[in-house]
Amino acid sequence: MADTSPDGRAGIDASLVRRLIADQFPQWRGLPVTPVEVDGWDNRTYRLGTGMTVRLPTAAGYVPAVAKESRWLPRLAPSLPVVVPEILAEGVPGRGYPFPWSVRGWLTGETAARGRIDDPARFAVAVGEFLRALQRCDATDGPLAGAHSWYRGTPPAAYDEETRCCLAVLERDGVLGQDELRRSAAVWEAALVGERRGAPVWFHGDVAAGNLLVRDGRLAAVIDFGTSGVGDPACDLVIAWGMFSGDSREAFRVTVAQDAGTWARARGWALWKALLVLTESAGADPDSADPDRAAEQRRMIGEVLADHDRHA
């Protein structure tokens, strides 16, 4: 019997997936079910045979993504320059598992680690072109940014209290110096007042290396539209500091062609996430702390501060 704890994580395993498939999609009964090599936090994903995946939310907060992706990915896909997940079926709660879930087509490729990209600037252009194509998709009746997107696509003010709390904790604990704190506060204030112009557009909400698949060194697919919606695309620019640098960052900046206010809000989104993760890392048990993760957030903050100094 699957664990029915509220967050659902402990009860998701290959045995549960096999039982759900047998009950609800008997045509696929008997196909092997195996965990994917790289999994996420919001959902658990298993391969079903060689050509499909099963994707199950780990908590109630991630459930709205199931119906959202099932409805909108087929409509968005024809207008995008790379493939996105194909929804093959939508399952219902069962066998002690409390949430809806989905079956999707398998997409070939590997997550976009830097060593798998043959030309970083060309890759940055491809990501920028994908975002521009997504923004051109018809947003009529699309899901307006809000709780279902974890407030991606809304003004950064949604996380104002959390950001200021992180700054206070990092100051108290001496993790950031006074100059970093002052400049971080300036970046955040600029994000809050950065003017949004134009009609709401589609955004992905989590453009990161783990959601970009490469094949033969090039962008091949974009996955995980769980935080997607219609609103402000600034959140999709965070990858400029998370993955790109130098020529590749400039190539991305030129390709996405966003105004100064959008970039100010994007710096705010990047700063919020880096501060949050750094705060969590600083408060972790020393025996379980990940110094590389903390160092990456420090690097990210430094890049965002330098970008603000250069472009604000």
Q: Return the minimum-mean-pLDDT range out of 110-114, 156-160, 267-271.
A: 110-114
Which residue blocks in the chain are alpha helix, DSSP H? 14-24, 64-76, 120-136, 160-172, 178-193, 239-242, 246-256, 260-282, 291-311
Report the percentage of the chain scoring pLDDT > 90. 88
Predicted confidence at residue 66, as pLDDT, reads 97
- Kindly list the distances between the CA atom of residue 74 and the CA atoms of 2, 86, 88, 187, in Å, as whole numbers in the listed order: 31, 7, 10, 38
Alpha carbons 253 and 270: distance in angstroms, whole number: 15
Question: Which pLDDT does position 113 carry in this prediction?
Answer: 87
CA distance 124 to 203: 17
pLDDT tens digits, residue range 234-252?
999 999 999 999 999 999 9
Q: pLDDT per residue over 93-127, tens digit each? A: 999 999 999 999 999 999 998 889 999 999 999 99
Angle ∠(192,62,55) on CA atoms, nearest 5? 135
Q: Which of 165-179, 264-278, 280-294 has the lowest mean pLDDT?
A: 280-294
Ordered by where they begin, the domains of the chain are: 9-106 (3.30.200.20), 111-311 (3.90.1200.10)
Helices vs. strands in the chain: H and E counts, helices first: 9, 10
pLDDT computed for residue 3 by the predictor: 36
Contacts of 262 (CB under 8 A, 6+ apart): 194, 196, 232, 233, 234, 237
pLDDT, tens digit, for every residue of 218-230? 999 999 999 999 9
pLDDT given for residue 287 in this prediction: 65
pLDDT at 237: 98
pLDDT at 114: 82
Helical (H) or strand (E) element with 201: strand 201-203
Please report the pLDDT score of residue 9 as a whole number.
58
Cβ distance 266 to 155 under 8 Å? no
What's the CA angle centered on 219, arms 215 and 221, to 5 degrees?
85
215: exposed, middle or buried (C-beta count within 10 Å: 0-12, 13-18, 19+)? Answer: middle
Q: What's the average model confidence in pLDDT over 20-41? A: 93
Across 58-82, average pLDDT? 97
Rounded alpha-carbon distances, angstroms, from residue 197 to 55, 259, 262: 36, 9, 8
Residue 15's pLDDT band, with cuts at 50, 70 and 90, is: very high
Mean pLDDT for the chain? 94
The structure tokens listed for 31 are 């196909």
pLDDT at 28: 98
Residue closest to 76 by CA, chosen among 125, 135, 126: 135
Q: What is the pLDDT of residue 152?
A: 98
